């Protein structure tokens, strides 16, 4: 078992002594931004042209769904949100800190990416995980 929490996805980086952040890759040829590791660009086909970048912790809500039926053991309702990050990159996650009501949620509302424990979920070896969430900015 690991000493501390593990990252929930490979592109969530936890530098020692620093703040967690999301990592992306930007194509030097066309500027397309990707989550996580990648060698070649699926937009323009450029090879070996990726630069590692730190993705922004600020963004805006692009689209969402309010999930009322999920798999057993998963708390509902919750908001599944698609967020465009400032400076490029789009990520999906739970939008928290706002009522799960379409009347309360507005498209393009500014959100902040925050990092917290993965809702108490642990893997088969008992490891805990650090996840990311969105909250209204």
Partner 1 sequence: MADAYIVGVDMIKFGRFPEKSVPQLGAEAALLALDDCGLSIQDMQALYCGNLNQASGMVGQRVLQEIGQTGIPVVNVSNACATGATAFREAWMSVKADVYDIVLAVGVEQMGKGLLGGGGGSKGISKEGLLGSGTMPSVFAEAGLEHTRNHGTTFEQFAKVSVKNHHHSTMNAKAMYQIETPLEVVMNAEMISYPNTKLMCSVNVDGSAAAVVASEQKVRELGLMDRAIKVRASVLTSDPWQERDLVMPDVNSCTRMASKAAYEMAGVGPEDLDLVELHDCFATAEILHYENLGLCEEGGAGRLIDDGDVELGGRIPVNVSGGLLSKGHPLGATGIANIYEVSTHLRGEAGRRQVEDAKIGLTHVIGLGSACGIHILEKAA
C-alpha–C-alpha distance, residues 118 and 5, integer Å: 9
Q: Which of 22, 35, 55, 113 binds partner 1 (CB under 8 A)?
A: 35
List binders of partner 1 among 37-66 (CB under 8 A).
42-43, 62-66
Kindly determine how many residues on this chain lie close enough to bind partner 1 according to the rule CB under 8 A.
Answer: 42
List 37, 40, 123, 137, residue binding partner 1 (CB under 8 A): 123
DSSP string, 74-132: --SSEEEEEEEETTS-EEEEEE-SS-S-TTT--TT-EEEEEEEEEEEEE-TT--EEEEE
The Cα 7–Cα 54 span in angstroms is 15
Binding mask 89-118 vs partner 1 (x if CB under 8 A, - otherwise)? -xxxxx-------x----x----------x
- Residue ranges binding partner 1 (CB under 8 A): 6, 8-9, 32-35, 42-43, 62-71, 74-76, 78, 80-82, 84, 90-94, 102, 107, 118-119, 121-123, 129, 131-132
């Amino acid at each position: 078992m690991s000493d501390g929490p593990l990252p929930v996805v490979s592109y969530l980086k936890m530098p020692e002594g620093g703040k967690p952040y999301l990592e992306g890759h930007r194509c030097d040829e066309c500027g397309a931004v990707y989550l996580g590791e990648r060698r070649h660009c699926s937009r323009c086909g450029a090879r070996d042209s990726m630069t590692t970048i730190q993705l922004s912790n600020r963004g805006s809500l692009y689209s969402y769904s309010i999930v009322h039926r999920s798999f057993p053991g998963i708390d509902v309702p919750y908001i599944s949100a698609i967020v465009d990050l400032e400076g490029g990159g789009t990520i999906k996650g739970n939008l928290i800190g706002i009522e799960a009501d379409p009347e309360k949620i507005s498209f393009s509302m500014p959100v902040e990416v925050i990092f917290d424990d993965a809702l108490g979920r642990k893997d088969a070896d008992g490891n805990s995980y650090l996840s990311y969430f969105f909250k209204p900015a």
